[in-house]
Amino acid sequence: MSYNFPDPPTDLSLADARRVLSTTRSSVSELDAKIEAAEAALAQVVRDSKCLISVMQDERANLQEQASKTMAYLSPIRRLPTELLRDIFLWSFEEHPCFAWVLAAVCNSWRRLALRKEQLIDVHDTRSVVWTTASPSVVIRLLTTQHASADTIRLWLERSGDTVPLDIEIFLRVTSSGSASESSSRRRRRSRSRTPSPPPWSLSFAHNGVASHYVIPPSPLSPPGITILPPAQTPIILPPSPGGLHDTWLSPHHSDDRHTHSSRSSLHWGHIAIYYLAEQMHRWERFIFRFDKQFTSMGALKSISGDAPLLKEFEVSSAEAAFYPEWQWLPNAPSNATLVLPSLQTLTLQYTPFKWSSPMLRTNLHTLTLRALPTSHHPLDRILYIVANNPSLESLTLHFQGVLPAVLPLTPTTLAHVKKFHVGGHFILSQLVDTLVLPALVDLTLDIEAREPIEDTITNLLTRSSAPSLTHLSIAYGTATNPASFYYGPSGTMISWSTLLVDLAHLQSLHIGGTPLEPLLAALGVPDDDTNQMTAWGCPKLEVLGMRNCHAHTEGVVKLVQMVEARNPPLGGGGGGSAGGPAPVNGVTPARLRSLEMYDCASLGEDVVQWLHCRIGEVVCTEPDFDR
């Protein structure tokens, strides 16, 4: 409906317009009310329909769940006898050690079967991190932080029963995210200035439920600021902890509430964990606890005290050279204490307190590793006392930064079974080496801050020991030492490498640090050379050669090429010997080098490095940093 009003408006047209406006507004209001009523009716219909659909969906879900349960009940695996299903579980554990976590999460019946105490103990299985049938002991492997819940340890110990021996390995990561970032920044700054040396240890551990192995080289002596890694040759998994707090260290982002809770829990982690562990000392067969730095509840280690009749291996190691007072615990027990440790064979204490007179150090050990605190100063005769009280030692590793002169006279000590002897630290320790007789020695590492040529120490040791078949020798390879302190005597004459290396006829690996490069390479080169006056090959069985901070002067690279040319001639022939072999001297033909490592020794050049790769299977070279 339209209206035509005259223009210009009159009084009559204005009255008509006002009447029309009022009528129109009334009609709009009526239509609005009808629309609202219709929409309300439609909404009610939709609500009723949705409600009906929801009821039918719930009914369908219930029927589907019932159908799934019925299908699960009809599954063939349900008809397997419990004994057969348990055997299948055990076979799976042997193949995948962390598979138990998966099986225990499938259903209630599988969880009960996987964790059933009497069955697992009967088959010498475990109910902890790793289920295994290899040994009659419960194996606990834990890689954790102090922000995680310590109740995980309590849970595993409760599931381990009351009688089965315990094999425990725990690695505690203490480094905070802030310090980790700072360390990363320092590493990035160093990487811009020089090519870093490869890490002394390689590591891989389980992530996202997949377990793998990692390897630690045999020598526990490493440069200052050592890195303590999780125990070697053991699968590590990261199990979930209550509340999910165990994963806080895996992600740099977490809520303030979680961070606050973790901070509080970190104050008590050690006290809770060590409390539960120490309660089971009578069942310890193997106890290894490693941490990368001091942590708030470190004093909880005081609880480790008492008898451990089953204990075969004990280790507490810190990667940080901490400064803290000694506390009373098992390695600090009084000399007159009566400790029951009849089975202890392996003892490792690194940057943790111990007393030289502790009964724990007088149990006729087979393997002993001691790295003393920087604040501790032991007289030399007391260190010898520790060694002499373990005549059955097969592996001996000592590192003491603070050593006092001997109070009592040193007595020559024979260790007839020692095959590996590693010693490092204070220069007075060279006197300890001079008192030992090691007729079975195979592996020798010397990182002593020597004040005299180390050649005499090595030669005299081998002579007293009736020339054992030494196959591995390392000198100053793990310490940043002034070269002069190792290889120059009071008279200023350099060590005679030719004399020393000719006597090492069985040596297979040699690692040297801090010596001038040319004399060493000349001694390993062709005999009868004018520069070394040798009449026989030095180290004819040498296959692995490592050098660190062995700086070259004028002909270092030339001597290196000549040595490799003599020992590793082209495989097609040449070199004066048989095809592919070096020249024999006095009927002796040296072995070919398999591995060559040179860290911060000389600038070789790309052409020399490529040539070395053509002659030697494994070559690792880093350029020296001349801007230090």
CA distances from 73 to 61, 67, 78, 108 (A): 18, 10, 6, 14
The answer to whether residue 234 scores a pLDDT higher than 70 is no
Position 548 pLDDT exceeds 70 = yes
Mean pLDDT to the nearest integer, 443-450: 88
Lowest mean pLDDT among 152-161, 252-261, 343-352, 434-443: 252-261
Query: How high is the pLDDT of residue 439?
Result: 96
pLDDT at 242: 33
Supply 120's token pair.
């697992």
pLDDT at 473 over 90: yes
Strongest mean pLDDT among 108-112, 122-126, 151-155, 337-341:
337-341
Q: Which of 384, 428, 389 is closest to 409 using CA atoms?
A: 384
pLDDT in tens, 395-411: 999 999 999 999 999 99
Residue range 444-470: average pLDDT? Answer: 88
**Per-residue confidence band for 225, with pLDDT thresholds at 50, 70 and 90:** very low
Q: What is the mean pLDDT of the chain?
A: 77
- Residue 297 is predicted with a pLDDT of 87
Alpha-carbon distance 157 to 166, whole Å? 9
How do residues 241-274 score in pLDDT, each as one tens digit?
Answer: 333 333 333 333 344 444 454 555 667 888 999 9
Q: Report d(CA 291, CA 446) in Å as an integer.
A: 26
Tokens of 328: 């009373």
- Give the per-residue pLDDT at 142: 85
CA distance 246 to 606: 47
| 302 Cα distance to chain centroid | 24
Least confident of 15-24, 105-114, 196-205: 196-205
The whole-angstrom separation of Cα 546 and Cα 328 is 42
Q: Which two tokens stand for residue 558?
A: 């030339």
Q: Quick one: tokens of 215?
A: 């390897």
Mean pLDDT for 197-210 is 31
Cα 55–58–62 angle (5° rounding)?
Answer: 140
pTM above 0.75, yes or no: no
**pLDDT band of 384, cuts 50, 70, 90:** very high
> Collapsing DSSP states into helix, strand and coil, what is residue 577?
coil
Q: Is the pLDDT of residue 540 over 80?
A: yes
The predicted model gives 560-589 an average pLDDT of: 71
Segment 505-526, tens digit of pLDDT: 899 999 998 888 888 898 888 8
Beta-bridged to residue 544, according to DSSP, are 509, 595
